[in-house]
Amino acid sequence: MLNTSPVPSSASPAALAGHAEGVSNDEFRAAMSRLAAGVVLVTAQEPPLDPDDPMAPRGEDVGMTATAFVSVSLDPPLALVSLREGSRMDDLLAEQPLWAVSVLAESQRHIAGRFAMRGRVSDRLLFEDIPYVRGEVTGAPLVGGALATLELRTEQRVSAGDHTLVIGRVLTARLPSADGGPLLYFRGSYRHLG
């Protein structure tokens, strides 16, 4: 049934600007900030500069903090991450099908903040003092002390507004740390349970 109810009189013209449906960016952002989300570090390794030369330098590790990461399917095991269109990670995963996710623990807020910074030129220094191992399948960094780590291979990319939804098949899933609770993002801040 088509909803033909009038726009509430409390909605100002400024609040309605930009969206035919009547929801402003600020209103949408405020509403979604009330949804607590787990925090993950998405990582991938750039391909070598010259894949035909075994002596060519290895590509740089890239990382990005994300809160829009969800399971999609159990059979086959699929998960999805939402990436800002045109971001470094979006561009990298358009050419590199292998990537990884570390589910961050409440004690890893500093890692989330570090990889959420905008405008950084290189991720090399960001990884420098963080303990990690390389994924056996992807070669991507898996953060030490994470509650869970997953390695994935991209199955599908879907354009969705100003983001790209990257759906990956889970190739490995490990539980390296049973200590601590999850790091959460709620109302614009990192939080923890309790």
Rounded to whole angstroms, the Cα distance separating 111 from 185 reads: 13
Band of the pLDDT at 125, cuts 50, 70, 90?
confident
Q: Between the CA of residue 174 and those of 9, 42, 117, what are the distances in Å?
A: 52, 15, 27
pLDDT tens-digit profile of 166-181? 999 999 999 987 778 9
In terms of pTM, does the model score above 0.85? Answer: no
**Residue type for position 104:** L
Q: State residue 113 phi and psi, 5-degree precision.
A: -65, -40
Residue 10 is predicted with a pLDDT of 46
| Residue % of the chain over a pLDDT of 90 | 56
Residue 6 is predicted with a pLDDT of 45
Token pair recorded at residue 108: 């890893």
pLDDT tens-digit profile of 10-53? 444 444 455 567 888 888 778 876 666 789 999 999 987 777 77
Task: Say if residues 99 and 44 touch (Cβ distance below 8 Å).
Answer: yes
The three-point CA angle 30-32-36 to 5° equals 120
* CA 33 to mean position of chain CA atoms: 16
Task: Say if residues 111 and 129 touch (Cβ distance below 8 Å).
Answer: no
